[in-house]
Amino acid sequence: MDLKKILRTNIQNLVPYSSARDEFQGEASVFLDANENSFGSPLATAYNRYPDPLQLAVKKKISEIKGVPPQNIFLGNGSDEAIDILIRAFCRPGIDNIILLPPTYGMYEVSANINDVAVKKVPLTAGYQLNLEGIAEAIDENTKLIFICSPNNPTANSIYREDIETVLANFPGLVIIDEAYINYSRQKTFIRELTEYNNLVILQTLSKAWGLAGLRVGMAFASEEIIEVFNKVKPPYNINEASQQLALNALQNVDQVNEWIRETVAERDRLGTALLDLHCVREIFPSDANFLLVKTTDAKGIYQFLVERGIIVRDRSNVILCEDSLRITIGTPNENTLLLGALKSFPH
Ligand SMILES: *Cc1c(COP(=O)(O)O)cnc(C)c1O
């Protein structure tokens, strides 16, 4: 893949914003270059200074955990920012298109729509795997990106590795693998494949297993060339100082996170087995994520019944290939028990 061929010309030629922090890096004692309030902030922690635009401290820690050099990492205000930047940097509005594989995460399509970029949909097979022939047929000379979510939201399964590699090896645009749920998966991350495929972008996030959805920190891993595109296009201070500091603290607690992952996976098994015994449950789809896709006898009725008992799940029954299905996040053992108790009393 030749990145220059797929990148928009205006982005190729873009002179990015140069902040005070970009122009002077080094030791100094008096900073009068960024029009900050030199006196401080009305908070116990000082936030009067602009944050590191490239978040190097956080990236170094992520680099240690993931085994990826910092220059191959982009941090976004959630994965959603990474998704938006990919579409904006590579797709010409009204001309280019992206390929999506529904049922899948909704933000890819919303982001494409916001940017006036056409979406070509190639639904997954009945077994929630890639339709490789359909994808090959959908690709045209203006197809820039293919989004593959694995483990997939809302179907919970992982996409076959060989199929993803087939797409990576044959598509001359970018293949984005969204691994938001990779920590819960039996499958391995594609991060080790970054050196093999220069058209690969991997998305991960601190919002799920890391328990930091409120901080808004998403990660993209890719070639240095692609990361440079992200850095050119992103707002200069896209990760605020509080999020950078808190993310850095949280990243010291890998053991706690791994313990929660083990508990979540154990609860996923327990909840799945127990749900199958209920008369209102038809099928539990295999899950590599922290949620279950559950085919029921009456998705809308059960959804409403649970709402009345203060339990909120996600009704996915209007989504293609998810007829009658609810998406249920794995809760704490107590929450899962409450859910099971409520569902047991759903009338025949
Ligand atoms: C939850 C989720 C994300 C996370 O998005 P953030 O913006 O990082 O919170 C990304 N992709 C998928 C498929 C998700 O389900």
User: For residue range 189-208, what is the model confidence (pLDDT) as tens digits?
Assistant: 999 999 999 999 999 999 99
Helix axes 79-90, 107-114, angle to 10 degrees: 40
Mean pLDDT along residues 58-87: 98
pLDDT for residue 24: 87
- Ligand 1 atom nearest to 77, measured from its CA: 7
> Is the pLDDT confidence value at 126 over 90?
yes
| pLDDT tier for residue 323 given thresholds of 50, 70 and 90 | very high
Whole-number Å distance between alpha carbons of 208 and 121? 26
> Is the pLDDT confidence value at 34 over 90?
yes
Q: For atom 4 of ligand 1, which residue has the closest CA?
A: 79
- The mean of the pLDDT values for the chain is 97
Task: Specify burial of residue 193 (Cβ count, 10 A radius: 0-12, 13-18, 19+).
Answer: middle
- Residue 289 CA to ligand 1 center (angstroms) comes to 12
pLDDT for residue 345: 96
- Ligand 1 atom nearest to 149, measured from its CA: 13
Task: Specify burial of residue 60 (Cβ count, 10 A radius: 0-12, 13-18, 19+).
Answer: middle
Mean pLDDT along residues 156-170: 98
pLDDT for residue 315: 98
**Which sign does the torsion angle of CA 96, 101, 105, 106 carry?**
positive
* Residues comprising the chain, all counted: 348
- Ligand 1 atom nearest to 104, measured from its CA: 13
Q: Which domains does the chain show, CATH number per domain?
A: 3-252 (3.40.640.10), 255-344 (3.90.1150.10)
How many helices and strands, by DSSP H and E, does the chain display?
13, 11
User: Is residue 101 within 6 Å of ligand 1 at its C-beta?
Assistant: no
- Ligand 1 atom nearest to 80, measured from its CA: 7
Output the CA–CA distances (angstroms, integers) from residue 18 to 21, 238, 246, in the order listed.
8, 14, 26
Q: Which of 168, 120, 166 is nearest to 1 (CA)?
A: 168
Mean pLDDT along residues 164-182: 98
> Is the pLDDT confidence value at 291 over 90?
yes
Q: Name the phi and psi angles at 203, rounded to 5.
A: -105, 130
Q: Which two tokens stand for residue 161?
A: 């590795």
- Residue 48 CA to ligand 1 center (angstroms) comes to 30
Mean pLDDT along residues 137-144: 98
pLDDT for residue 25: 85
pLDDT for residue 102: 98
Whole-number Å distance between alpha carbons of 281 and 285? 11
pLDDT for residue 22: 85
Residue 325: count of CB within 10 angstroms of its CB? 25
Whole-number Å distance between alpha carbons of 329 and 166? 31
Identify any residues that bridge with 97 across adjacent strands, giving them in sequence order: 118, 143
Cβ contacts of 307 within 8 Å, gap of 6 or more: none
My answer on whether omega of the bond before 154 falls inside 30° of 0, hence cis, is yes
Q: For atom 15 of ligand 1, which residue has the closest CA?
A: 153
Q: Which two tokens stand for residue 342?
A: 């409520």
> Is the pLDDT confidence value at 69 over 90?
yes
Name the pTM for this structure: 0.97
DSSP 182: G
- When comparing pLDDT for 20 and 30, which is higher? 30
Whole-number Å distance between alpha carbons of 326 and 300? 9
**Tokens 């919970």 -> residue:** 156
Residue 251 one-letter amino acid: L
pLDDT for residue 111: 98
User: Is residue 178 within 6 Å of ligand 1 at its C-beta?
Assistant: yes
* Local structure of 300: helix, strand or coil: helix
pLDDT for residue 21: 83
Residue 309: count of CB within 10 angstroms of its CB? 14
> Is the pLDDT confidence value at 20 over 90?
no
| pLDDT tier for residue 146 given thresholds of 50, 70 and 90 | very high
My answer on whether omega of the bond before 103 falls inside 30° of 0, hence cis, is yes
> Is the pLDDT confidence value at 80 over 90?
yes
